[in-house]
Structure 1
C-alpha cells in the first residue's frame, strides 16, 4: 500500500511507488463524496472516529467503464482477510442529509473473493436501473450514473438490524428506535421480515419475551447510535450487527425525515411516590376524582400550614406548591414528593430537624441531596437558631391550645358538617346552575374549614408515635405488644361498626335459614323477613356512601348497589359465632410497681392516644360522607349534561375535570365539545388499564407530563418466613386468599385475607377474615385500626405479599411479632370458595 501520485490517496498496488489505475481506495484514505459517494465517506469517518466497522475498500465508479478487471483488486481483497464479502453501492447522493436512496441500488452479500469483480459490476450497473431513475426524478432530479462500490468484509452475525437515534415517525429526539433480527440484517432492511422492536429513552422497553436481543444488548445498540449522532453532529440511522466478538457498526447515515426541534436541556427533578396514597386511591383513578383530590389537597394543606404558624403571605406565594401536591401517572395517583418537601420546608423548625420532618412524609427512600440542599433554609445557626426555637415554642403553645379546645372544635365541625349535608337539597330535581352552586357551597363551607380533622390527625400522629416509643423504652419488646393490645375494643370507632352489624345480620340470616336464598336473590330474599330488611335499610342509611375505593367518585356506593353487603351478610351467616373482643386495660400497677410517675404518664398518654385514634377514624368517616355527597352532585350534573346532549351518558362526567364540568355551567369553559374530550380520555384510560401498575416510586427529569419507567419483573421470594409490622395480636394458621378486588373475589369464613392494600370499603371482607396480611400500611392504617378493634390478627407493610403468598396455600400469621410463614404450598391449587 502506498500514496497515489495523482491524488495522494492510499491505494492497493503491487508496487508502493505508483498507483497503476488509481481506482481502488483504502478505508483510511481522505475520501471525497464526489469521488466515492456518501456511504463510503461515512464509513471512513466511522473508522476515523474510533468505531469498528468491518474492513473495506472502495472501487471508484470510473473503474467500470471498461470490461477489464481493475488492477490491484486481488491485493485489495487479500488485505481485507478471508471472505466472504459484502458488495454495496456508494453513490454521490446516497446516504445524504436530504435523500438516502435507501434500497435503490443492488447489494450482494456472501461474495467469494473470485466473484467480487462480477458482484461489483452488478452493483455499479444498478445505478442505471429504471427504479433509480424514477427515484432521482422525484427526489433530486439528477441524471443516471453508476455509484462507487464498497467491498467490505462480512461478519458472522448472530443478530443484526437498524437503529435510529431519533424516532423517524414521531420526530422525537432522544428516543432510540431499534429493530433487530436473527442473523444478517439484510432481510430486515429489504422488508422481507419484521424485526423485534425496542425503544430506548429514559428507559428500555421491548417485547415481554425477547428472542433476538437482551435488554443489555438493546442498551448497547442505543449507546452506539447516540455516539454516532454525537460524532456526526446529527441524528443517525445506523446498521449494526453482533458477532462472537461483540457489536459492530456497519454503516451510518443521516435521518432524512423531518424531526422535532431539539429541546433545550431541562434537568429539574420530579419524584412521584404512591406508597401511602395508594390506600386511598388504588388503581385507575378518573380525571374527575383526580382533579377533585388535587383541589381538596390544595385547600386542606394550605389550612394545615397556616394552623402551624406559616404566614398568609408565605402560603399565598406558594400557591403553586399546594396546587401540585399530587400527580397522575398512567391513570394512577401519586404524591409529588418534591412539592411535599417544599411544603414541609415552610413549617417553623424545619431547619432544626429536617430528618424528623422528612419522616412525616412516610416514604421509605430518603429525598435526594439535590432536593434537600435546594429547598428550604440551611440548618439554623446562632441567633437564627434561637429565633427558630422561639417559633417552635409559639407553635407548640398554639397546638396545646388546639388540643385543649379540640372537643369544642370537633363539635363545631360536626354541626357545620351536618348542617351542610342535611340541608334538604335535592340533587334529583335540581338543574345545572343549582347543582354547581351547591358544590361551591360545600367547597366553601367544609373544605376551607377542615380544622377538626387536621388538628386531630396531627395530634394523633404525635401521640401514637410518642406512646409507642415510650412503652418500648420503658418496657422493651413487651411494651410494643402492649401498645397494640391496649388499642383494641374501644367500642365507639365507627369503622368497626359495619363489621359488627354485618355479623349481627349474619346471625339473623343464619337463624332464618336463608343464607343461600340471600346469595341467589339478593334483596328479594328479605321480603318475607321484614326484621332483617329493616336492619339492612338502617345499615344503608348510615353507611350507604361506603364502598370499595370509596374516595374515588366513580365508585358505585352501597346505596346504589348493595350486592357486596348482602353477599357479606350471607357469608357471615356461614361462619360460626366469633367471641367479641373487649377492651384490654393493662395492670398498670404490675407494670410499674415502684414508679408512680411512669405509671401515671403511661396510663395518661395511652388513654389520650386511644381517643385520638378513635376520633381520627370517626372523622375520616365524615370525609366519606362529603365525598359521597359530592359524587351525587356530579352524577346529577352528568344527568343534566346527558339530557342536554353534552354527554353520551351521565357517568361520562367522571372523564371530565371539576373545572371542565363547572366551567360548562358557569361560563368559563373552553370548549362545548365535551363528548370529544370524554372519548379521548376513555381511550387513554382503557389503554392504561391494560398496562401493569407503574412502580411505587418514579424519578424523572424535565417536563413531568409523560413520565417513563422501566418495568422490572417481580421475582417470587423463596423464603418461608418473613417479618413485617405486627399491629393486632393473635396467631392464626389457615388458608390464604389473595384478594385484589373484593367486588369480584370472595373470602370464605376463616380464610386469611392477603391484599396489596385495603380501604374502609373492605370491611365486608374483614368480617370473614381470620387474619389479615397487607402489603402497604402502618400502625395507623385503616386496616390496622379496624383489625385491632375487631380482634383480628393483622400484619401490615409486608411488601410483595401478594406475589410471595400463593392463593390457596396454608400460612400462619402472628399479629404481635409481624411474622408470616408459608406452611404448605401444596394446597395452593385447591378450588376457591365463593360467596
Structure 2
C-alpha cells in the first residue's frame, strides 16, 4: 500500500503536504532547529482502509520522532501562504499522547470542513474549496518560554523593527488570544531593545538569539515572516514560519551614498545631548564662519555660493548628539588647492580619531588640475595667508573692537526688550561678529601650522627631548585667560581660611553668609561679572550659567579654602631650555627660538579668542532666554525654557513672520519628549558610517556597548604637563555633581572651561579625549598640574577610588596594585 506519511527530510510540495508542512520541511532542510515531525497526507483519510493502515504506520514512526507528547496541527494547501495565513481557522491539538495521535489526526483533518473555514475563505475571495488539510504531527517542546515573532511591525508597517510577544511556558494561550503576553520591540539592524516590559521573561541573550533567528528566516524566505518559537532551556526552536500577510511599508530604494559622521573632537564643545536651539545656532555659526574663512583665503564668491549646501551642513545631529559631517568638511576644504589629495591634513585639522574611509575620499576628490593651476592656486592662498598673518595684530584689534561694541550693552537690558528688538539684536550679532570672524579664523589656521610645524621640527632635531621642551615652552604661557578662574578661586579661598562657618556654608552651595565678608563678596561679584558664562558645557545655550546658579562656584571656593595654598608653578625659561638642548648648534637654536615664539603666541591667542567665543554664546543664551520668557507670557510656550526645544529659524520666524508652524508649544513638547527618549539610550559611537539619508537610519546605529574592563597595569596617552603624581583616582562624568577632594587625580571623558573648579583641587588630570592644544592640557600646565590626554577608555579602565600613578611628561598612567 502507498505510504501517506512523509518525514521531515522529505521535499514534498504544498499540494501534497500542505503549506505548513512544506514550510517546516524547508526550514529543516535549511538547518533551522525545528522539532522533529512527520506529515500525513489528506489522502490518508479518504478511505477507512487507508486511514487504518496509516494509523498503524504513524504509531510506528512516532518512535523515530522521539517521545511524546505531540502537537497535532493542520496543514492545508494554502495555509501559511502569502495571500492568507488561515491562522486559527483549523483545529490544533497539543500535548497529545502517542496512542491518541491517530484519532487526533482525524479530528484535525475534519476541521477543514468547518463552516468557519468556508466563511474565512469567502471573506478573502479565495474560493469555496481550499482542499482538505494534511496533518502535521510534531514533538512538543518542554518550553521555558515561547511566543510569536514578527520580522517587521505588522501594525505600523515598519520593516526596521522586530516585534516579539512572549509568555512563560507554552505559547498556546498567547496564540489563542487568552493572554496578551510580554511585548518587546528590537531594532532590526543593531538589536537595540526599543521596548520591553518592566518585569521581563526574556534575557538579553534570549533577545539576541531571537533577532538572529528572525534575520536568518527573513533572508531564507526573502521577505518578512510571522514565526512561532520556543526556548527549551537555552535552546531556541523554530516551530513554524509564514509570510506576514498584513500590508507593510514599501521597500525603500537602495541608497549607496556614504555618509561619515565623527564626534571625537566636537564632543569636547558639545558633549552629551544637545538641544535643537543650540544645534541650529552652532550650525549657522559654522556655516557663516567657514564661508568667511574661504573668502579670507581668496576663494571667489561664486565658488563659495555654489557650494552653499556644504557649509550649511558641516554639522549633523543624531539622537540629540552632535557630529561633524566629515564628507561635507572634506568637500568644503577640498576647494583649497592642493588640499583635496591630502586627507591627512583635514584629519589633523579636525582632530578626528580615525582616517577617512577610502570610499569617501574617492567619492569627494576634486577634479584633477594641472600642476601649473594647482601651484597658482596654492600661491594665491599662500599670499592671502601671509597677508592675513602680517595684518593679524591689526585684525585682532578690529575684532576686539567690534566685539566690545556688540557686547557693550549690559546683558540685563535684554530682559526689558520687546521681541522685535531681540530679533534685531540677534541679526546684528550675526552680521557684526559671525560674518566677520576674521581674527579667530586666521589665528586658528596659523596656530595649526605653527604648532604642528614646531613640534615636527623639535622632534626631528632632538627626538623625545625636543618634544618635552616643546611641551614645556608651548603650554606654559602664564597669560592665558582660561587659567584665571582657577587663580581667582584659589585667591578667594585664601580669604576664607579663618572663617570655617562660611566655608561650611559655601560647601553646601549657599551664599547668604557672603554679606558679612565684603571683600569676598566683591570678589565673587567680580568673578561672576567676568566668568559667569564659563559653566560646564558652556557652548550649549541650555546650560545653566553661574549667575543663575552660583552654587558650583561657592563649592569650589570652599574646597580651595579647605585645601590651603597651592604650590607655585615653575615656569620654564625658554632661552635656557633651548640653550641646553641645542648646545653647540647655534643656528638650530636660533631657528627653534623663532618658530617656538610664533607658535607660543598663536596658542595663547587661540585660547584667549576662544574665551571671546564663550562671551558671544553667553549673549546668545541670554537673548534666547529673554525670548522664551516673552513667548511664555504670550502663551506660545508652556514654560520659558521650552525655547531651547525650538530652532533659531523657528524662533525668528515666529517674530519676523516666516514661520511655517505657529503651534510652538506642541513643537517644544515633541522635541522635549525626543530628548527625554534619547537620554535613556547609551551614547552613540564616535564614528558612524551610514548609507543614504541620516534620518532614516537612526535605528541602524548601534549604541556604544559597555566595554569589559581592561586589566592592563599600564597604558599611555599623550603627556601634556610634566610631573609625576601617585594618588587616588576620582572618575567624574559631570562636574556639576562630582566631587574632587584636594590631592585626588581627576579622571574624565572630556573637559571644558566649566571644569575649572575641579582643576583647583586636582593633583593630576587624566582625560580620554583631547590633544596638546585642548583646554585641559593648556590650563593644567598654567596651574602646574600633571596632565595626560587622549587616554582612550580611561573612564572604564580606571576604577573610581583606585590608586594610580600619572606621568604628565611621558603620558604613562599606571595602576598601583
**Structure 2 residue 326 is the aligned partner of structure 1 residue 337:** yes
If the length of structure 2 is used for normalisation, what is the TM-score? Answer: 0.90
Instruction: Please tell me whether the aligned partners of residues 165 and 235 of structure 1 are also in contact (alpha carbons under 8 angstroms).
Output: yes
2:766 corresponds in structure 1 to 773
Deviation at 1:314, TM superposition (A): 1.9
* Alignment-derived partner of residue 420 in structure 1: 406
Superposed, which structure 2 residues align to 1:15-30 within 5 Å? Answer: 27-30=10-13
Say whether the 8 Å CA contact 1:346–1:376 is kept in structure 2.
Answer: no
Output one character per residue of 1:8-66: Cα deviation in whole Å (capped at 9) or x when no partner: xx8469xxxxxxxxxx999534443xx86543454466678897865532331782686
1:689 equivalent in alignment to 2:679: yes
Any idea what the Cα deviations from partners look like across 1:666-721, whole Å, max 9, x if unmatched? Answer: 10101211111111111111121122111222222222114232242311111121
- Aligned match of 1:525: 513
Give the aligned partner of residue 276 of structure 1.
Answer: 265
Partner of 2:75: 90
Residue 510 of structure 2 aligns to a residue whose secondary structure is helix
SS in 2 for 1:440: helix
Question: Which of the numbers 443, 450, 468 marks the counterpart of 1:456?
Answer: 443
CA distance in 2, matches of 1:525, 1:476: 55
The worse-fitting range, judged by mean Cα deviation, of 110-119 and 143-152 is 143-152
Distance 1:756 1:424, change over 3 A: closer
Deviations 1:811-834 (A, max 9, x none): 11110011111225xxxxxxxxxx
| Equivalent of 2:213 in 192, 205, 221 | 221
Partner of 2:133: 148
Aligned-partner Cα distance in 2 for 1:246–1:596:
76
- Answer yes or no: is the 8 Å Cα contact 1:180–1:212 preserved in 2: no
1:536 aligns to 2:524 (yes or no): yes
Give the Å deviation of 1:377: 2.7
Q: Which has the higher helix share?
A: 2
Change (3 A) 1:25 1:238: closer
The aligned counterpart of 1:668 is 658
Match of 1:39 among 2, 14, 20: 20
How far residue 274 of structure 1 moved from its aligned partner, in angstroms, is 1.0
Structure 1 residues 86, 667: closer, same or farther in 2, change over 3 A?
Answer: same
Given the alignment of the two structures, is residue 807 of structure 1 paired with residue 803 of structure 2, yes or no?
no
Is 1:389 matched up with 2:375?
yes
CA contact (8 A) 2:12 2:22 kept: no
Q: 1:180 to 1:644 in 2, by over 3 A?
A: closer
1:403-552 to 2 correspondences below 5 Å: 403-423=389-409, 426-513=413-500, 514-520=502-508, 522-552=510-540
Aligned to 2:228, the other structure's residue is in SS state strand
In the other structure, the counterpart of 1:625 is 615
Shift of 1:326: 1.2
Superposition pairs of residues 224-243 of structure 1, within 5 angstroms = 224-230=216-222, 234-240=223-229
SS at match of 2:322: strand
- The residue correspondences of 1:95-114 to structure 2 (distance < 5 A) are 95-114=80-99
Stretch of structure 1 that moved more, 622-631 or 514-523: 514-523
Residue 309 to residue 75, structure 1, CA distance change in 2 (3 Å): farther
- Once the two structures are superposed, the pairs formed by residues 159-170 of structure 1 within 5 Å of their partners are 161-170=147-156
Aligned pairs for 1:169-188 (under 5 A) are: 169-178=155-164, 186=172
Deviations 1:335-369 (A, max 9, x none): 11221222222221124533333332222222222
* CA contact 1:810–1:823 (8 Å) conserved in 2: yes
**C-alpha displacement at 1:160, in angstroms?**
5.9
Equivalent in the alignment of 1:759 = 752
Which SS does the other structure have where 2:695 is aligned?
A: coil
Residues 342 and 117 (structure 1 numbering): CA distance in 2 closer, same or farther, change over 3 Å? same
The residue number in structure 1 matching 2:349 is: 360
Change (3 A) 1:31 1:653: closer
- Matching of residues 652-801 of structure 1 within 5 Å: 652-706=642-696, 707=698, 708-711=700-703, 712-801=705-794
Pair 1:491–1:98, CA change in 2 (3 A): same
Residue 63 of structure 1 is matched in structure 2 by: 45
1:11 and 1:26 in contact (8 A); partners too: no
How far did residue 663 of structure 1 move? 0.4
Q: Is the 8 A contact 1:638 1:653 kept in 2?
A: yes
In structure 1, C-alpha distance between the alignment counterparts of 2:44 and 2:618, rounded to whole Å: 84
Cα displacement string for residues 562-612 of structure 1 (whole angstroms, at most 9, x for unaligned residues): 111111111100112113325311423332222221111111111111111
TM-score by length of 1: 0.89
CA contact (8 A) 1:164 1:236 kept: yes
Report if aligned partners of 2:5, 2:39 keep a CA contact under 8 Å in 1: no
2: CA distance, partners of 1:25 / 1:205: 35
Contact 2:447 2:602 (C-alpha < 8 Å) held by counterparts = yes
State which drifts further: 40-49 or 317-326.
Answer: 40-49
The match for 1:305 is 294
**Cα contact 2:5–2:41 (8 A) shared by 1:** no
Tell me, in whole angstroms, the C-alpha distance in 2 between the residues paired with 1:493 and 1:685: 36
Give, in angstroms, the shift of residue 184 of structure 1: 6.0
Runs of 5+ in structure 1 lacking a partner? 3-9, 14-23, 825-835
| CA distance, structure 1, for counterparts of residue 192 and residue 506 of structure 2 | 49
Displacement after TM superposition at 1:139 (Å): 6.2
Show CA shifts across 1:156-214 (max 9, x none).
57776543332212211254445567876556544558368463522123479953845
Q: Which moves more between the two structures, 443-452 or 52-61?
A: 52-61
- When residues 94 and 82 of structure 1 are mapped into structure 2, their CA distance, relative to the original with a 3 A threshold, is closer
1:204-237 deviation digits (Å, cap 9, x = unpaired): 234799538457634531232222431xxx4332
Cα RMSD for the two superposed structures: 3.2
Bigger Cα displacement from structure 2, 60-69 vs 159-168: 60-69
Return the alpha-carbon distance in structure 2 between the equivalents of residues 488 and 596 of structure 1: 24
Counterpart secondary structure, 2:416: coil
How many residue pairs align between the two structures?
799
Q: Provide closer, same or farther for how the CA distance between residues 26 and 421 of structure 1 changes in structure 2, counting only shifts above 3 A.
A: closer
1:211 equivalent to 2:210? Answer no
**C-alpha separation between the residues in 1 aligned to 2:386 and 2:669?**
52
SS at match of 2:73: strand
Larger CA deviation: 726-735 vs 149-158: 149-158
Matched with 1:376 is 365
Q: Classify 1:31/1:729 alpha carbon distance in 2 versus 1 (closer, same or farther; 3 Å).
A: closer
Q: Name the SS of the counterpart of 1:647 in structure 2.
A: coil
Q: Is the 8 A contact 1:309 1:347 kept in 2?
A: no
Preserved CA contact (<8 Å) 1:413 1:452: yes
Q: Kindly indicate whether the alpha-carbon contact (under 8 Å) linking 1:106 and 1:123 is maintained by their aligned counterparts in 2.
A: yes
Deviation string, structure 1 residues 131-177 (Cα, Å, up to 9, x no partner)? 76886687669879995132344375777654333221221125444
> Is there any run of 5+ residues in structure 2 with no aligned partner, and where?
none
| Structure 2 counterpart SS, 1:89 | strand
